[in-house]
Chain A
Amino acid sequence: MKEVELLIIGGGPAGLCAALSAAESSAKVCIVERNKSLGGQLIKQTHMFFGSEKQYASIRGIDISGILLDKLNHYKDNVEILTETTVVGMYEDGVVTVLHKEDNYYKIKPKAVIVATGAFEKTLAFPNNDLPGIYGAGAVQTLMNVHGVKPGDRVLMVGAGNIGLIVSYQLQQAGVQVAAILDAAPKIGGYLVHASKIRRMGVPILTSHTVKEAIGKEFVEKAIVCQVDEKFQAIEGTEMEFDVDVICISVGLTPLNELLAMRGCQTKYVPQLSGFVPLRNENYETTIENVFTAGDATGVEEASSAMVEGYLSGLCAASKIGYTPGNFEERKKDYIKQLNDLRSGPVGKHILAGIEQIVI
């Protein structure tokens, strides 16, 4: 059995920042990441980030992952990175089981764990939604921005949250036409600056609309779209057709935290945080001692807050296992202030209402 001090599950923005602040505090950190490289969603985010300087505002996500990895490299003696390694279980006795590639299955015994596993995409049920050409927005972004592959020629985007708006813009940048952006909600969910920027390229945003059906033999050839009422019921006679070869689904994310549930951490369904989330204290420690969490796994938000939550949980976890991080109180206060700043606006209100329900 492999023994480690602080195990961080997930090498995305939250996990990397958690590793940084723990390693800075002299803790020995082990990051487990199921993908081939670290960075999580950052590696496909070609747009500039919002927030303020401390959360790398105005820098592109793809560059932020580079910045974080460079910083992490300063502490390389304290950081072990296991890529292509998936955590498959977390048990009552504190043992964590992992699978490297598809053949090497082994146990890790950490003193403390930070679960920063992120979130997964929701899907949408409609007839023929299994036709080739129907993608999640994350897949489209990965294809385009990581692998340089166009997903198709003409896209219908379903969902006008930040991801739907941003991916639409990036599709247009890649030379792929976006026929329209739909959202079943009566208002655009994402930042309106993103909406305006895609609208002024001539892409219509149709709120109170949804996709009724996909049509095609071997792949998507058409989408039937209709209007919906306040109860999200289709309004008959409002159908229209879009000739598209891609339907991109961007209808939100759900926190990915089954590992915490398996370990026995108390969770709660909180709609404002987009699903089941673990109860936690202000240090991001769950109901089980030495099991911490950070990022979208604790509630779906922007990557900016995921990074700050990462720093905070890494700092607190290092302190919990016996290290004395420099300026602990000051730094903790600063991270909490940054999170409050990010959540103090109209969008954040919603998040705060969710967090209220899970802080113990």
Chain B
Amino acid sequence: MFEKTGIPSEEMVRGKFPSIERINKGPVAVVECYKEIPCNPCQDACKFNAIKVGEDINNIPQLNWDNCTGCAVCLSKCPGLAIMVVDGSRSEEAILIKIPYEFLPLPKEGDLVKALDREGRYVADVRVLNVLNPKSFDRTPVVTIEADRKYLYDIRNIKVEA
């Protein structure tokens, strides 16, 4: 189905997530690269040797969750915008999610925005905690939102109303 719709199955999505124990320890990347394509900038972007593509640039990136600090640098470097960061260390109820967001208007810290799933369906209203847009991110800003933990595997996008 994925190859017909562009929507990964829940099983595929969960397969890319680290354990909940690791998520609860602190921020960690989730690399949703499901199909081999010739591409490896995520590996070069990571200063912690946490992402490995290897000699064949068509390999699917493998993430070392122990090395990953959730710094989010790779989010802005992935040409497919396929990477997000999740962080369950803040509280038992909430989850922090960082996603790349290349649209205007950019949300501001404290804004309420609509969280969307992988089909673009509305999931919940969520609070924006932070927006990173340094020059080094090269026009791919990274937005951090805080959501109810039950949406950990659902939220993948946001919609900002002008």
Q: How far is the CA of A202 from the CA of B5 in the complex (A)?
A: 11
Near A by CB (< 8 A), chain B positions 140-156 give 140, 156
Cβ of B4: which chain A residues have Cβ within 8 Å of it? 186-188, 205, 207-208
> Which size class do B's interface residues fall under?
35 or more
Complexed CA–CA distance, A9 and B138 (Å): 32
Additional A-B contact list (5), CB under 8 Å, known A59-B138, A193-B81: A47-B79, A193-B79, A200-B118, A345-B38, A348-B58
With A173-B103, A207-B4 already in contact, the answer to whether A345 and B118 are too (CB < 8 A) is no
Residues of B within 8 A of A48 (CB): 41, 77-79, 138, 140
The answer, among B41, B77, B156, for a CB contact under 8 Å with A52, is: B41
In whole Å, how far is A158's beta carbon from the nearest beta carbon of chain B? Answer: 16
Taking a contact as CB atoms under 8 Å apart, the answer to whether B58 and A201 are in contact is: no
Give the residue of A52, A197, A208 whose beta carbon is less than 8 angstroms from that of B80.
Answer: A197
Partner of B138, one of A52, A60, A194: A60
Do B37 and A193 have beta carbons less than 8 Å apart?
Answer: yes
**Which residues of the partner chain B approach A324 to less than 8 Å between Cβ atoms?**
none
A57, A196, A203: the one contacting B32 at CB < 8 Å is A196
Query: Which chain A residues (205-225) contact chain B, with CB distance < 8 Å?
Result: 205, 207-208
Chain A, residue nearest B138 (CB): A60
Residue in B closest to A192 when the chains form the complex, CB atoms: B35
Q: Which of chain A's residues has its CB closest to B34's CB? A: A192
CB pair A344 B58 closer than 8 Å: yes
Contacts of A207 in B (CB 8 A): 4-5
Taking CB atoms and an 8 Å cut-off, the chain B residues in 12-70 that contact chain A are 32-41, 44-45, 56-58
Do A57 and B80 touch across chains, with their CB atoms under 8 A apart?
no
Interface status of A342 (Cβ within 8 A of chain B): yes
Q: Nearest chain A CB to B15's CB is how many angstroms away?
A: 15
Tell me the smallest distance from the CB of B26 to a CB of chain A, in Å: 25
Given contacts A192-B2, A341-B38, contact A51 B118 (CB under 8 A): no
| Residues in chain A near residue B57, CB distance under 8 A | 51-52, 341-342, 344-345
Q: How far is the CA of A59 from the CA of B6 in the complex (A)?
A: 24
Q: Determine how close the nearest CB of chain B comes to the CB of A307; give it in whole angstroms.
A: 13
**Which residues of B lie under 8 Å from residue A203 when comparing CB positions?**
120
Q: Contact size class for A? A: 35 or more
Complex Cα distance, B73 from A164, in Å, reads: 28
Which residues of A from 242 to 296 have beta carbons under 8 Å from B? none
- Is A342 touching B157 in the complex (CB atoms < 8 A)? no
| CB nearest to A203 among chain B residues | B120
Chain A residues within an 8 Å CB radius of B116: 200-202
Given contacts A53-B44, A200-B120, contact A205 B37 (CB under 8 A): no
Q: What are the residues of chain A within 8 A of B36 when measuring CB–CB?
A: 345-347
Name the CB-closest residue of A to B59: A345
Binary B-proximity of A43-54 (CB < 8 A = 1, otherwise 0): 000011111110
Binding site for A on B (CB under 8 A): 2-8, 32-41, 44-45, 56-58, 77-82, 102-104, 116-121, 138-140, 156-157
Task: Take A47-B79, A49-B79, A341-B56 as given contacts and tell me if A198 and B41 are in contact as well, using a CB distance cutoff of 8 Å.
Answer: no
* A320 contact set on B, CB distance < 8 A: none
* Cα distance A329–B8 in the bound complex, in angstroms: 45
The 7 A-B pairs at the shortest CB distance, nearest first, are namely: A193-B80, A202-B120, A345-B58, A195-B6, A58-B41, A199-B6, A48-B79
- 30 A-B pairs with CB atoms under 8 Å apart are A47-B79, A58-B41, A58-B44, A58-B78, A60-B138, A60-B139, A172-B103, A173-B102, A173-B103, A173-B104, A187-B4, A188-B3, A191-B35, A191-B37, A191-B80, A192-B6, A194-B80, A196-B32, A197-B81, A199-B5, A200-B116, A200-B118, A200-B120, A201-B120, A202-B120, A343-B38, A344-B58, A345-B56, A345-B58, A347-B38
Q: How far is the CB of A290 from chain B (nearest CB, A)?
A: 31
Within the complex, the shortest CB–CB distance from B93 to chain A, in Å, comes to 25
Q: Contact between A205 and B56 (Cβ–Cβ < 8 Å)? A: no
Q: When the two chains form the complex, which single residue of B6, B41, B102, B138 contacts A196, counting CB atoms closer than 8 Å?
A: B6
Q: How far is the CA of A173 from the CA of B36 in the complex (A)?
A: 26
The one of A50, A186, A194, A199 in contact with B38, judged by C-beta atoms closer than 8 angstroms, is: A50
Residue A313 interfacial (CB < 8 Å): no
B134 to chain A, nearest CB (A): 15
Q: Does A304 contact B (CB under 8 A)?
A: yes
Which residues on B sit within 8 Å (CB–CB) of A342? 38, 57
A336 to chain B, nearest CB (A): 15
The answer to whether A199 and B120 touch across the interface, beta carbons within 8 angstroms, is: yes
Q: Which residues of B contact A348 (CB under 8 A)?
A: 38, 58
A57 CB contacts on chain B under 8 angstroms: 39-41, 44, 79
Within 8 A of B (CB), among A65-113: none
Q: Are B39 and A51 in contact (CB under 8 A)?
A: yes
